[in-house]
Amino acid sequence: MRRHHTERHRTDRIGWLRAAVLGANDGIVSTASLVVGVAAASVSHASILTTGVAGLVAGAMSMAAGEYVSVHSQADTEKADLAREQAELDADPAAERRELAAIYTARGIEPALAVQVAEQMMKHDALGAHARDELGITDALSARPIQAALASAASFGVGAALPLAVVVLMPAAQLMAGVVGTSLLFLALLGAVAARVGGAGPWMGAWRVTFWGALAMALTAGVGAWFGAVV
């Protein structure tokens, strides 16, 4: 009995995974750093919480807008490239077939076979073949602005809510230590999970986000302590 061979790849996760990890990481780091910086300035517990909530709302909207604009720019570029490629196919399909065959030859296919492959691919889906093999545009990696914006905003909100929950629950005397410690733990878990989902080693992923998060909180706390005022 022939066994069906299946493979699992993770490239289809790149779009939403990048946006989600970036949003959650930024939510934890920016909100925790903001809270620590304000706390270092010796302000009231209510002011710290208000500042953190404002940072959550502003950060989530900023992430959504930034992701949408940047990814939409990529989508516009892809659309323009595809339109240009379609025009070239309509104007001179023979030249485009030779171009596709040359790409396959450069990848190691024998010239005669490359010509046959190019002919078959263009009969099946000429624009799709050129989009994939000439332009590097695929369905798995294509830009999805709304998906990226929603993933970034939602993940930022979730990430920012974690240090804010610590602010609500932690006594004022232990607030800074509690926010820093738990935020670093959250970042380590986020880095490990993201790396695992992406197929990489969890330890390196955890180390990367934890290091930069600790640096951000340390610098912000230093600013708050130096100026002794609300940041």
The residue-averaged pLDDT of 51-80 equals 86
Answer whether residue 5 shows pLDDT above 80: no
Task: Report the run of H or E that residue 44 belongs to, with start and end.
Answer: none
Instruction: State both tokens at 40.
Output: 């270092």
Cβ pair 13, 141 in contact under 8 A: no
As to burial, measured by CB atoms within 10 angstroms (0-12 exposed, 13-18 middle, 19+ buried), residue 201 is: exposed
Tokens of 226: 């130096």
Burial class (CB in 10 A: 0-12, 13-18, 19+), 202: middle
Question: What does residue 50 show for φ and ψ, rounded to 5 degrees?
Answer: -60, -45
Distance CA 219, CA 118 (A): 56
Quick one: average pLDDT of 179-194?
A: 85
Cβ atoms of 45 and 118 closer than 8 Å: no
Rounded-to-integer distance, Cα 14 and Cα 95, Å: 34
pLDDT, tens digit, 9 for 90 and up, residues 125-170:
888 888 888 777 766 556 677 877 888 888 899 889 999 998 888 8
Using CA of residue 213, residue 215, residue 221, residue 223, what is the dihedral sign? negative
pLDDT category, 231, cuts 50, 70, 90? very low
How many Å apart are CA 176 and CA 35, to the nearest integer?
A: 8
d(CA 73, CA 67): 10
